[in-house]
Amino acid sequence: MTQYPRKTQVGIIGSGPAGLMLSQLLHNAGIDNVVIDRQSREHIEARVRAGVLEQGTVKALHEAGVSQRLLAEGLPHDGFHLSFDGELHRIDLKKHTGQHVTVYGQTELTKDLIQRRLDQNAPLIFSADNVTPDALISQSPCIHFEKDGTRHTVQCEFVVGCDGFHGISRQSIPDDVLRVFERVYPFGWLGILCEAPPIAEELIYANHPNGFALCSMRSPSRSRYYIQCDTNDNIENWDDARFYDELEIRLGDSIAASLVRGDSFEKSIAPLRSFVAEPMRYGNLFLAGDAAHIVPPTGAKGLNLAIADVRILHDAFIKHYRQKDSSGLENYSTTCLQRVWKVERFSWYLSMLMHQIPTHSDFEKKMQRAEFDYIRDSEAASKSIAENYIGLPLNI
């Protein structure tokens, strides 16, 4: 019978990028930890997610010791494009900030982190049933779980919830303590992944009367495309031909001329929401990543925001264990939320600018166009977008 840890310093619920990154950084610092997830390794590694990494996220991967494939396969991007009715405007990241972003799929990043944990024989428990954090306001919190029909308990000094929007961690905070802020958008993104060269060397965010479109990539031979759709739409309504026809319309003739119609091998519809839970700490439970906040994917902030949480929390644990200074842990929620709300603002702003909003009047549509024209003609406006896109500092 497999022996599972009965005691650890930091118990982590969730093996997405946030949980895995925190686990690796803590391991490198000599801080004992265990990761527990209700999903299987196969399920986790098959999830298709974001692919634009801020430099802070890349730095964390270097520090974690899992940047070898990133360096070999990641695509540095010095800018990206906004398109309005087929008119392009390039946001020059390098010019305005001196920095760039890197295109590298979240799926690959997750695989790298999982393999690193397994290579080091670190406690990483998949397919655990009934994972439950307990005694969170005591000095001895714990995590209960079932594995192969046997009940287990891991005694912890701290518990970190990295188990996503639907996870148990945030649900463990009493209703009279937790405050939730949410905006659900009346549309979703229909996305496909295909084996075909990207339409352009940099990402294109497009606004068209038919709706939003995004041209992205995962590699020089693999493309990721999205179009705005109704939240109640069905994937079965969209074969590849119809999807590409609509994408071409939204991009305009000059951009669409470079489109290669590759057969899709993944297709999904994702709803869009803005969501923040406050506080991000309850007793000795800390929330990180999607367990605490969701941003619409416009602007590529979800993964990067999760890694920023982890970097802040990792530094706080280092101060606690090495310097006997718990101020970082005590201030974790306040520190993170100051940054979270600024990132939420940018993702909301870009979403409202680039999508067709069903409730918008003709006046509001004219305001969208005026805003695009202002960005196109204003160096300061373009610089502001660039500064937000490459990632805000951790402590702001």
Catalytic residue positions? Answer: 77, 205, 297, 301, 389
- 279 preceded by cis ω (within 30°)? yes
> Is-contact 336 292, C-beta < 8 A?
yes
Rounded CA-CA distance 269/257 in Å is 26
Burial of 395 (0-12, 13-18, 19+ CB in 10 A): exposed
HEC string of 336-362?
A: HHHHHHHHHHHHHHHHHHHCCCCCCCH
E strands of the chain, at which residues?
A: 10-13, 33-36, 52-53, 75-77, 79-84, 87-92, 101-103, 124-125, 129-134, 142-147, 150-155, 158-161, 179-195, 204-208, 211-219, 222-229, 264-278, 281-282, 285-287, 293-294
Chain length of the chain = 396
